[in-house]
Amino acid sequence: MREIVFDTETTGLENKVDRVIEIGGVELLNHFPTGRTFHVYINPGDRKVHPDALAVHGITDAFLKDKPSFPEIVPQLQEFFEGAKWVAHNATFDMGFMNAEFDRIGLPPVASELVIDTLSLARRKHPMGPNSLDALCRRYGIDNSHRTKHGALLDSELLAEVYIEMLGGRQAALGLTSVETRRNQVVATTEIIEMSYERARAIGTRLSEEEREGHAKLVATLGSKGIWSKYLN
């Protein structure tokens, strides 16, 4: 399964009028990072960065002046995300902005079944919270000390680590996955390792006769329908 853990930075909080100015993404294949990333800054046209948003991400209007417009980055965006699920923290916010941008240029929205919200996952897994990205990094021992301001690619990289941990960590996979890149295409092969062996002789019981008799008496009090009665012989 291919997933893109992504994040956006915007000019403000209202997707009907504000614009996406940065997109970062990290590719996962079967919940393992492939090393491929996506990162662009975007010129929002005549929409200025709100001071509150500037305080969060530090991206200025002057910095964005020579960056490509959203329609210009769409081809590379579609190529990177094609066939993958979209994974975001508080996905309602990010997808609201992404779908608003797509709508402005006549493209259909991303189907809801392709979106995974890690905030919803975190709230189910840790109902007492807190479940911000910084809080989850602390919970899972992920170093986010270099996150002095929000940044789409940095936040995507941190979220990818958090997401993997929420799914059970790297040890959750029942096999070894190797990733090979061929001309920007990622091919994964999974090798399932089965480990089995036979002992030279069976291990005998370590229970004393007194312990066996005591257990039998306890089982007898459970009645004929007690499940333990099946294992007395």
The domain of 108 spans 2-172
Domain assignment present for 63: yes
pLDDT digits 0-9 by tens, 183-229? 444 444 444 334 443 444 454 555 677 777 777 777 777 776 666 56
Number of domains in the chain: 1
Domain assignment present for 135: yes
Could you tell me the pTM of the whole model?
A: 0.73
Domain assignment present for 192: no
Domain assignment present for 206: no
Domain assignment present for 102: yes
pLDDT per 10-residue tile (average), the chain, 233 residues: 97 97 97 96 98 96 98 98 98 98 98 97 95 95 85 95 89 44 44 41 61 75 65 55
Among the listed residues 31, 126, 150, 215, the single catalytic one is: 150
**Residue 150 among the catalytic residues:** yes
For residue 92, the domain's CATH number is 3.30.420.10
Domain assignment present for 181: no
pLDDT digits 0-9 by tens, 92-107? 999 999 999 999 999 9
Domain assignment present for 232: no
Residue with tokens 């959750």: 172
CB–CB of 87/162 below 8 Å? Answer: no
Q: Going by C-beta distance under 8 Å and a sequence separation of 6 or more, which residues neighbour residue 124?
A: none
Cβ-based burial of 47 (10 A; exposed 0-12, middle 13-18, buried ≥19) = middle
What is the distance between the alpha carbons of residues 131 and 153, in angstroms, rounded to a whole number? Answer: 20
Phi then psi dihedrals of residue 45, to 5 deg: 75, -130
CB–CB of 58/149 below 8 Å? Answer: yes
